[in-house]
Structures are given as structure tokens and as C-alpha cells.
């Protein structure tokens, strides 16, 4: 009988920060993103941190992606790998205890472990190897005739998950999914047990309507909320 699987988003779900952004920061630190562009990135980040406008995070993310993709055409593999190594060394253990421990528990139970992430293949491969995942889907960039092409299977998380399931010959029976943002909804809808972890508002609203499990980790406490009588009630806390 095919094994069951669990699929995790990575940025903000396992790792406490956005790895895609961290790689861009490392490239800037190493002199591969010009100072004017990086100043705009930092300004957009501060606007998000101050919660200036409902789209502040989207604006920040747009600056990061544009800056990163602009520099890729002139970047060699050595410089990218140096940035990825720096990010891996700094962030690999900066994780949420809930997802870290859940991954260990599911692995002991014989689950296949998958990751679907919008971050770069180079950093996601290192993170998934480090935590013992079986397979992943992530953003990949290739250059053809000086033109940048983005291969982004995780942009369509439904397709990405179907591809992972087919490639690894696993079953949706008993399947689990963990995500933190609206972009994870297509993935979470496919599994038998969807978990909204530290959800942003759009995911929280969606999960609430569908009575999905909610888990919130704050400081050194994990709060698990289950739907009872059309409202969420505290089901368990882990200290």
C-alpha cells in the first residue's frame, strides 16, 4: 500500500523568515545588488514592518523579486552559491518548534515528507536535505540565450503537489498539509488534514469557513484551536 504523506510550506511555516528575501539580502551584502536598489528594498521592508497600508508586504516582496531577478542575468553560480551557503548557515535552525517537532514525529510514523516553496531551489534543497524531506518543489531560474526564464512549479501548488504525489507513488489517504498564507490554500484543500499555522488573515478567514485546524505559535507556547459549535476553542497548548 502506498505511504501517506505530509506537505509543508517552508517560509514562515518551518523557517521563521523568508528564505527568498534572505538570499537577496546576502547578494546585496556581497555587493551584487546596487545600493540604490537595496535602499528601496529596505524602505519597502520598513513600510511593511510599520504596517503602512494593507499591501505593504506585497510591495516589499515585489521589490525583492525584481531586484533579485535583475541581478541573476549577470550573476555567476559561484556568487549565488556563496549567498545560499550564508543563508543556510544563518537560518537553518531558526525554525518554529511546532513544525520542526511535527516533521520529526511524522517521519517516525513513516510519512513521506514534501516541501513546496516559492524560494529558490538552491536554498530549499539544502533545507529539505537538512530536515530529512523526501522531495520538494521550488523556484528555479535558468538562462537561455541571455534571457531569464523562471520555472516556478510552486506558483501552482495544486499542480506541484500532484506532481510530487505521482513522482513518489504516495497516497492521499491520511495526508497532511501545513501552510501559513493564502498561496497555500490550493495545497491545503487537497489533503485530508489541512493545518493553518500562524495564518495570515486571508488564510484564517478561509480556514475558519472550512473548519480547518488552526495552530498558533507565540514565544514558547503553541496553541492548537479546533472548531466546536461553529467557533474555535483552545484544544491544546504545548509549552
Q: pLDDT value at position 126?
A: 97
Report angle CA 234, 191, 126 to the nearest 5 degrees. 95
SS3 annotation, the chain: CCCEEEEECCECCCECCCHHHHHHHHHHHCCCCCHHHHHHHHHHHHHHHCCCCCCHHHHHHHHHHHHHHHHHCCCCHHHHHHHHHHHHHHHCCCECHHHHHHHHHHHHCCCEEEEEEEEEHHHHHHHHHHHCCCEEEEEEEEEECCEEEEECHHHCHHHHHHHHHHHHCCEEEEEEEEECCHHHHHHHHHCCEEEEECCCHHHHHHHHHCCCEEEEEECCEEEEEEEECCEEEEEEEEC
Least Cα distance to 204 among 181, 225, 221 occurs for 181
State how far the Cα of 66 lies from the Cα of 40, in Å rounded to an integer: 11
Three cell numbers, residue 30: 556581497
d(C-alpha 199, C-alpha 180), whole Å = 4
Bridge partners (DSSP) listed for residue 163: none
The pLDDT of residue 147 is 55
Q: In this structure, is the dihedral angle defined by the CA atoms of residues 37, 32, 16 and 190, taken in order, positive or negative?
A: positive
Q: Domain extents for the chain? A: 4-16+95-238, 19-91
Look-up of cell digits 490554500: 185
Alpha-carbon distance of 239 to 223, in angstroms, equals 9
pLDDT value of residue 161: 95
Burial of 192 (0-12, 13-18, 19+ CB in 10 A): exposed
Q: Which residues of the chain have pLDDT under 70?
A: 53-56, 73, 143-155, 236-239
Please name the CATH architecture into which domain 4-16+95-238 falls: 3-Layer(aba) Sandwich (3.40)
pTM over the 0.95 mark: no
pLDDT at 154: 53
| Residue 237 Cα to chain centre, angstroms | 24
| pLDDT tens digits, 220-233 | 899 988 777 778 88
Closest listed residue to residue 13, CA positions, set 102, 83, 90: 102
Cell 544563518 sits on residue: 90
Amino acid at each position: 500500500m502506498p505511504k501517506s504523506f505530509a506537505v509543508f510550506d517552508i517560509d514562515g511555516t518551518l523557517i521563521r523568515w523568508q528564505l527568498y528575501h534572505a538570499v537577496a539580502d546576502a547578494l546585496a551584502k556581497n555587493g551584487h545588488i546596487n545600493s540604490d536598489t537595496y535602499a528601496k528594498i529596505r524602505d519597502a521592508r520598513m513600510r511593511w514592518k510599520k504596517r503602512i497600508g494593507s499591501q505593504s508586504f506585497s510591495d516589499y516582496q515585489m521589490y525583492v523579486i525584481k531586484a533579485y531577478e535583475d541581478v541573476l542575468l549577470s550573476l555567476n553560480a559561484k556568487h549565488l552559491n556563496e549567498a545560499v551557503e550564508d543563508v543556510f548557515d544563518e537560518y537553518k535552525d531558526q525554525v518554529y518548534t511546532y513544525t520542526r517537532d511535527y516533521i520529526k514525529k511524522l517521519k517516525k510514523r513513516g510519512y513521506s515528507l514534501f516541501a513546496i516553496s516559492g524560494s529558490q531551489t538552491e536554498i530549499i534543497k539544502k533545507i529539505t536535505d537538512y530536515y530529512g524531506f523526501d522531495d520538494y518543489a521550488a523556484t528555479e531560474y535558468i538562462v537561455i540565450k541571455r534571457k531569464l526564464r523562471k520555472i516556478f512549479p510552486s506558483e501552482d501548488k495544486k499542480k506541484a503537489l500532484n506532481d510530487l504525489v505521482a513522482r513518489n507513488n504516495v497516497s492521499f489517504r491520511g495526508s497532511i498539509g501545513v501552510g501559513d498564507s493564502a498561496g497555500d490554500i490550493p495545497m491545503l484543500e487537497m489533503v485530508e488534514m489541512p493545518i493553518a499555522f500562524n495564518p495570515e488573515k486571508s488564510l484564517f478567514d478561509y480556514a475558519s469557513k472550512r473548519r480547518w485546524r488552526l495552530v498558533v505559535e507565540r514565544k514558547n507556547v503553541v496553541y492548537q484551536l479546533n472548531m466546536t459549535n461553529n467557533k474555535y476553542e483552545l484544544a491544546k497548548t504545548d509549552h
